């Protein structure tokens, strides 16, 4: 294990149980039937556990988008050409993609980071942290070296540190990379011991023939790298069949936990990276918030492994961090509720009629 990464992993603290308990007790005093705001109440309590404070704010929200290309695209696993990664990364900085246009409308920051784009582009608004220009072909060689995995994870941690220094209240974790549903499916298969048929979806859209090719490539890659034998070595798994975007996203989650910032998961690629981060450091799970139920087949497998239930079902499968945009609004509503809602006492209501209900709820 890389010493610098190990130092971060050892110093991630679990959520503050006392702060969550205080938030839960406070919510019981507010003028509403017990538990009637459901997931909003849960979000408010979990936010308190992360920051150690009852009242939290969400003025500054940032979606960090990790961009990288994947050598596995040489096998026809994606419908889009590799050049789309760079093109869409640039378009994100102009608020022209699905995620960035929505984020702009809600006043949310988007930070686009190149950790492995293969093609050239001209855009000074993209943060250049390129580790290598795309990964290797996972059917013939490891996607990257283990040192490159560490470099990507540490890059992600540094982005969380940057967010902390910028007083960011909420982090969203997104991606852009043609072929990354293939690498994510391979990583998920390796982490769970499942085969391609169980964990693989159609990504951005594939013909039946291309979909069969994609699943075949994933199974062959898992066999080639002998990843059926050990589901615990996250660094090896990322090195063999992962992507620079996935590894860097793992780092953002770890960094968010280290710096005690809530981190929102987007879709399939984002949740596979979250699972990798939690396998490296179980305490990271306390800092993760779900967003939407991705249409990708493997999403629920990863969500179940993390014991996280998606809040929204919108039939989305875009990626980019698009689910984070909407989940930020949910968390913002949760904070507005606990910060501004009146209690039974301040609202002049005798809450004695709720005693029996409270007993049944608790």
Instruction: List the domains of the chain with CATH numbers.
Output: 3-55+338-361 (1.10.1610.10), 61-329 (3.40.50.10210)
| Residue 300 and residue 188 in contact, taking contact as beta carbons nearer than 8 Å | no
Contacts within 8 Å (CB) and 24+ apart, 211-214: 213/75, 213/76, 213/77, 214/77, 214/182, 214/185
Structure tokens given for 159: 């982005």
d(C-alpha 23, C-alpha 107), whole Å:
28
Q: Can you give the pLDDT at residue 202?
A: 87
For residues 332, 333, 338 and 344, what is the CA-based torsion angle, rounded to 10 degrees? 170
Q: Catalytic residue among 109, 320, 332, 355, which? A: 320
pTM for the predicted model, two decimal places: 0.96
d(C-alpha 22, C-alpha 30), whole Å:
13
Residue whose pair of structure tokens reads 């809450």 in the numeric block: 351
Q: What is the longest distance spanned by two Cα atoms in the chain?
A: 71
Chain-centroid distance of CA 67 in Å reads 14
Q: Can you give the pLDDT at residue 354?
A: 73
- 320 catalytic residue (yes or no): yes
Does residue 63 sit in helix, strand or coil? strand
| Residue 119 and residue 67 in contact, taking contact as beta carbons nearer than 8 Å | no
Burial of residue 150 (CB within 10 Å: 0-12, 13-18, 19+) is buried
Q: Can you give the pLDDT at residue 335?
A: 98
Structure tokens given for 115: 């950790």
| Residue 321 and residue 173 in contact, taking contact as beta carbons nearer than 8 Å | yes
pLDDT (tens place) for every residue of the chain, 362 residues total = 899 999 999 999 999 999 999 999 999 999 999 999 999 999 999 999 999 999 999 999 999 999 999 999 999 998 899 999 999 999 999 999 999 999 999 999 999 999 999 999 999 999 999 999 999 999 999 999 999 999 999 999 999 999 999 999 999 999 999 999 999 999 999 999 999 999 999 887 888 898 999 999 999 999 999 997 778 899 999 999 999 999 999 999 999 999 999 999 999 999 999 999 999 999 999 999 999 999 999 999 999 999 999 999 999 999 999 999 999 999 999 999 999 999 999 999 987 777 766 666 65
List the alpha helices (DSSP H) in 226-321. Answer: 234-241, 244-258, 268-280, 299-306
The helix/strand count (H/E) of the chain reads as 15, 6
Determine the Cα angle at 69 with ends 68 and 72, to 5°. Answer: 140
């Amino acid at each position: 294990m890389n010493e610098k990464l190990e130092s971060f992993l050892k110093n991630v603290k679990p959520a503050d149980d006392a702060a969550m308990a205080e938030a839960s007790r406070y919510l019981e005093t507010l003028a509403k039937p017990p538990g009637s705001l459901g997931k909003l109440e849960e979000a408010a309590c979990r936010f308190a556990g992360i920051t150690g404070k009852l009242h939290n704010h969400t003025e500054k929200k940032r979606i960090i988008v990790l961009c990288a290309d994947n050598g596995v695209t040489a096998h026809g696993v994606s419908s889009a050409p590799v050049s789309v990664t760079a093109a869409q990364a640039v378009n994100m900085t102009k608020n022209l993609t699905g995620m960035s246009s929505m984020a702009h409308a809600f006043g949310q920051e988007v930070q686009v980071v190149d950790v492995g784009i293969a093609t050239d582009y001209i855009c000074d608004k993209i943060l250049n942290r390129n580790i290598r220009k795309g990964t290797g072909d996972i059917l013939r060689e490891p996607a990257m070296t283990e040192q490159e995995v560490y470099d990507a994870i540490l890059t992600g941690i540094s982005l969380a540190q940057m967010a902390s220094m910028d007083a960011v209240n909420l982090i969203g974790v997104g991606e852009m990379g043609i072929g990354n549903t293939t690498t994510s499916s391979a990583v998920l298969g390796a982490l769970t011991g499942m085969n391609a048929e169980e964990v693989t979806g159609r990504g951005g859209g594939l013909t039946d023939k291309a979909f069969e090719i994609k699943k075949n490539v994933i199974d062959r890659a898992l066999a080639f790298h002998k990843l059926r034998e050990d589901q615990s070595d996250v660094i090896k798994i990322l090195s063999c069949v992962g992507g620079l975007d996935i590894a860097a996203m793992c780092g953002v989650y770890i960094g968010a936990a280290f710096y005690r910032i809530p981190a929102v998961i987007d879709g399939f690629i984002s949740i596979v990276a979250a699972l990798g981060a939690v396998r490296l450091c179980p305490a990271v799970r306390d800092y993760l918030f779900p967003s939407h139920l991705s249409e990708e087949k493997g999403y629920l497998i990863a969500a179940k492994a993390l014991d996280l239930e998606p809040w929204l079902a919108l039939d989305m499968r875009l990626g980019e961090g698009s689910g984070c945009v909407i989940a930020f609004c949910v968390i913002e509503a949760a904070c507005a509720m606990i910060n501004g809602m009146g209690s039974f006492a301040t609202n002049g209501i005798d809450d004695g009629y709720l005693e029996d209900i409270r007993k049944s709820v608790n």
